Amino acid sequence: MSGSVYFHTYGCQMNERDGESAAAWLEESGFRIVEEEEEADVVIVNTCSVREKAEEKALGKLGLLAASKRRYPGRCVGVMGCMAQRLGERLLERFKGLDFVIGTSRLHRLAEVIRCVQEGGGPVVEVGEAEEERPELEPFRKPVHPIAFVNILYGCNRRCSYCIVPSVRGKERSRLAKAILAEITERVLKGVRDVTLLGQDVMAYGRSAAVWGDDTAFFSSRFREPFPRLLEAVSRIPDLWRVRFTSGHPSGCTDELAWAIAELPPVCEHLHMPLQSASDRILRRMRRGYTVEAYREAVTRLRAAVPNLALTTDVIVGFPGETENDFEATRAFMDEMGFDNAFIFKYSARPGTPAAAWGETVSEEEKQRRNQVLLADQNRRSQAIHDRLIGQTLEVLVEGPSLRNAERWSGRTRTNKIVVFPNPGRVQIGDRVLVRIERAMPQTLYGEVAQNE
């Protein structure tokens, strides 16, 4: 048996990447991936646990899908991703009509699980330990975009006091460099031009594991540290124009990393490095492993080597114990750093994390207020940064027409800014073009194509 499958995906880029692997494994087993839920024999919700809201969204969707089985009796409904890993069979108890729960480390067994359900053997729970090994090579689908995400580090060895990720993604495991390079090389052959290397603490790559195998080519590197070495190896892949990575941590911002970004042409002038807070007291309670000064030094070191580095970040407001003073310190520091963009999250207590035991001290209204204040600051800051780009000509990697208006095309700069432009006719998806910026908004730049490269 086989059939058509539809995915709902929530969560981070890593989860998106898992969704792609799952889809590719299913295609290899004879399933078809469809773009409309209505057409699907199998509907899978790919979930995130990082905040309560993210789980609520997935739970709401699962409730609707479980109920929809009265209208679609033959339909198979399943759940994967971090919430599936966290809650396991409890999800089956909660939703009558749910057919399977599959954890993050068992994803390669998805086709078997679906078949088992379709043959009447359901419901199935396939959730192992979070850090079980997955197949070394991760499959991917034919790219529709010139952009792709590639895992280099699974799990996380940090223990930030608020975070659920280590418990759902397990201990840190670095992928073998050989497997990473093989995956990227294949993708580039299929038209990918911009690759983001993924890891929760991406700069920790290869620090506590052997990643080079017996491939002596790596030893001729001028870098000693594993992550810059990997960047160098990835940068050598022909026709790969852009390499970026996320998420960074101040402890990984070494001189070697600064040189790597400055000297390896494909490595983009863009870093996403979550700050979370700029109060040392709160950072300590968050167990982030850096002080405000260490964050500042890390950024100073990188900017000395890469003056036009675009810096983006994440901030949590309303962490237990966060006072008005702590918040104002974060606000001021964000201005000092001049972040190009910032994602602001309201603190959400996650079951089983140390911070969840401390109790909340900031009301929902106050979290909302702090959230709005930081968003407004960031809008102003992004606008000012973008205004300075007006009149400049920037390299844009073309992603395609916008969904709402097919006349307007969009792409990204090396600094990861979205640029919208009218297609003069000759521009195609995956082209690298020069766009002259004419107008700017906080999240978008607008311009005209100056020339095809």
Under the binding rule (CB under 6 A), the answer on residue 19 touching ligand F3S is: no
User: Judged by CB under 6 A, which stretch of 22-30, 157-165, 184-192, 373-381 contacts ligand SF4?
Assistant: 157-165
> Which partner from the list ligand SAH, ligand SF4, ligand F3S, none does 437 bind, CB cut-off 5 to 8 Å by kind?
none
Which residue from 93, 107, 91 is spatially nearest to 15, judged by alpha carbons? 107
Under the binding rule (CB under 6 A), the answer on residue 165 touching ligand SF4 is: yes
- Nearest-approach distance from CB 359 to ligand F3S, in angstroms: 23
Beta strand pairing call for 432-440 and 393-401 = antiparallel
The answer to whether the beta carbons of residues 410 and 446 sit under 8 Å apart is: no
Question: Given the structure tokens 């208006």, which residue do they identify?
Answer: 405
Q: Binding pattern to ligand F3S, positions 152-191, x when CB under 6 A?
A: ------------xx--xx----------------------
Can the peptide bond before residue 307 be classed as cis, meaning omega within 30 degrees of 0?
no
Helices (H) and strands (E) in the chain, counts: 13, 19
Show the tokens assigned to 313. Answer: 């970040």
Question: CA-to-CA distance for 89 and 75, rounded, in angstroms?
Answer: 20
Residue least distant from ligand F3S (Cβ)? 11
Of 259 and 343, nearer to ligand SF4 (C-beta) is: 343
> Which partner from the list ligand F3S, ligand SAH, ligand SF4, none does 312 bind, CB cut-off 5 to 8 Å by kind?
none
The answer to whether the beta carbons of residues 158 and 200 sit under 8 Å apart is: yes
- Nearest-approach distance from CB 82 to ligand SF4, in angstroms: 11
Under the binding rule (CB under 6 A), the answer on residue 250 touching ligand F3S is: no
Q: Interface residues for ligand F3S in 25-54 (CB under 6 A)?
A: 48-50
The answer to whether the beta carbons of residues 102 and 84 sit under 8 Å apart is: yes
Of 166 and 226, nearer to ligand SF4 (C-beta) is: 166
Query: ∠ at Cα 224 (220, 226), nearest 5°?
Result: 100
> Which partner from the list ligand SF4, ligand SAH, ligand F3S, none does 57 bind, CB cut-off 5 to 8 Å by kind?
none
> Which partner from the list ligand F3S, ligand SF4, ligand SAH, none does 314 bind, CB cut-off 5 to 8 Å by kind?
ligand SAH
Under the binding rule (CB under 6 A), the answer on residue 315 touching ligand SF4 is: no
Of 163 and 177, nearer to ligand SAH (C-beta) is: 163
Number of residues assigned to the chain = 453
- Nearest-approach distance from CB 295 to ligand F3S, in angstroms: 21
Q: Interface residues for ligand SF4 in 193-212 (CB under 6 A)?
A: 200-201
- Report the interface residues with ligand SAH, using CB under 6 A: 50-51, 162-163, 165, 200, 247, 274, 276, 314, 316, 345, 347-348, 350
**DSSP letters spanning 336-377:** HHT-SEEEEEE----TTSGGGGG---S-HHHHHHHHHHHHHH
> Which partner from the list ligand F3S, ligand SAH, ligand SF4, none does 166 bind, CB cut-off 5 to 8 Å by kind?
ligand SF4
Question: CA-to-CA distance for 215 and 293, rounded, in angstroms?
Answer: 39
- Applying CB under 6 A, the site for ligand SF4 has a residue count of 9
Question: CA-to-CA distance for 203 and 273, rounded, in angstroms?
Answer: 11
Under the binding rule (CB under 6 A), the answer on residue 158 touching ligand SF4 is: yes
Which residue from 167, 184, 196 is spatially nearest to 353, judged by alpha carbons? 167
Which residue from 428, 430, 429, 421 is spatially nearest to 450, judged by alpha carbons? 421
Measured in whole angstroms, the distance separating CA 68 from the mean position of its chain's CA atoms is 31
Residues forming the site for ligand F3S (CB under 6 A): 11-12, 14-15, 48-50, 81-82, 164-165, 168-169
